[in-house]
Amino acid sequence: MKVIDHLRRADRTLFSFEILPPLKGRDIRSIYEGIDPLIGFAPSFINVTYHREEVLYKEMGNGLSQRIRIRKRPGTVGICATIKAKYNIDTVPHLICGGFSKEDTEDALIELNFLGIDNVLALRGDAIKNEAHFIPERDGHAHAVDLIHQIHALNHGKYLHDEEQEAAATDLCVGAACYPEKHPEALNLNVDVAYLKAKVDAGAEYLVTQMFFDNAKYFRFLDLCREAGITVPIIPGLKPITTLRHIAFLPKTFRVDLPDDYARELMKCRTDLEVKRLGIEWTTEQAKELIARNAPCLHFYTMGRSEAVQAIVQKVF
């Protein structure tokens, strides 16, 4: 089933979560270990991230080096198909611009359609590490809105380099990302909302936010979107902070701020266990308020660990 259909039919706030493909060399069992504890809470769908290749330089001697491109977390499409078959739960593979030509994108969409996967989250993706800014693949898309246009065209039977009048159309539900504290590259939040409106106009049927820790920012963002004419469901994305490393890593990496009272309490923590307890408590209160304000779905970023999310959903669903 399509994500948008789950959202339209729901009479309550839904639950979903996101997982990472295992690192190369680990098997699918590591995925099951993260999913199994959450199955009892009836997730409506599960997102599976896609990770760009990384560039390594191998010294060859004589001052020369070889540029090697590797992907540390392959398997997004296969994992989506496996989860769908094993758990009978809808999956949402992430599809990015980076590393894909338009032909590669079309092939990936056709493959998803053959597998009976009804959904895709369309993202630009990040720059390759050590590159100052995002560089699209040759004959690839530079922006998520362009990727959405291609998916929307394929849903209407319009293929690349094919002028047949009766080509088979795909039927993929397209989601897109949004940023309550604005995309890091946007000039300001209003400009970012304008770009977001373009993604919705191009065919995005629902939106999922970047993680945030201050519900007031989500509600303000929601108001700005509605004022701009964005009417699609906007799903809040939540991530409990669970380790001392997260305190520095998450705000820096995802360009998000922590509320003053939460930050003060986190700075008092001396162990991962203290951070985890506080993180579960804070995100639980976020979740309760979002449900009370009729959020369409709560989407949790598990990052491969489901214990904290399990503790939260036990209290709110």
Among candidate residues 233, 241, 239, 240, the one with its CA nearest the CA of residue 297: 233
Query: pLDDT 10s digit of each residue in the chain, 317 long?
Result: 999 999 999 999 999 999 999 888 788 888 999 999 999 999 999 999 997 776 655 666 666 666 556 666 788 999 999 999 999 999 999 999 998 999 999 999 999 999 999 999 999 988 777 777 888 888 999 999 999 999 999 999 999 987 666 688 999 999 999 999 999 999 999 999 999 999 999 999 999 999 999 999 999 999 999 999 999 999 999 999 999 999 988 998 899 999 999 999 999 999 999 999 999 999 999 999 999 999 999 999 998 889 999 999 999 99
Phi, psi (5° rounding) for residue 106? -60, -45
Q: Give the CATH number of the domain where residue 150 resides.
A: 3.20.20.220
- Radius of gyration (Cα) for the chain, nearest Å? 20
Which amino acid makes up residue 108? A
Among candidate residues 47, 26, 95, the one with its CA nearest the CA of residue 302: 47
Local structure of residue 135 (DSSP, 8 states): -
Phi, psi (5° rounding) for residue 121? -105, 115
Residue corresponding to tokens 């980076």: 98
Domain containing 131: what range? 3-316
Predicted TM-score (pTM) of this structure: 0.93
Instruction: Say how far apart CA 10 and CA 3 lie, in whole Å.
Output: 11
Phi, psi (5° rounding) for residue 132? -70, -30
Q: Report the number of distinct structural domains present in the chain.
A: 1
Which amino acid makes up residue 257? D
**Pair 94, 100: CB distance under 8 Å:** no
Confidence at residue 136, expressed as pLDDT on a 0 to 100 scale? 86
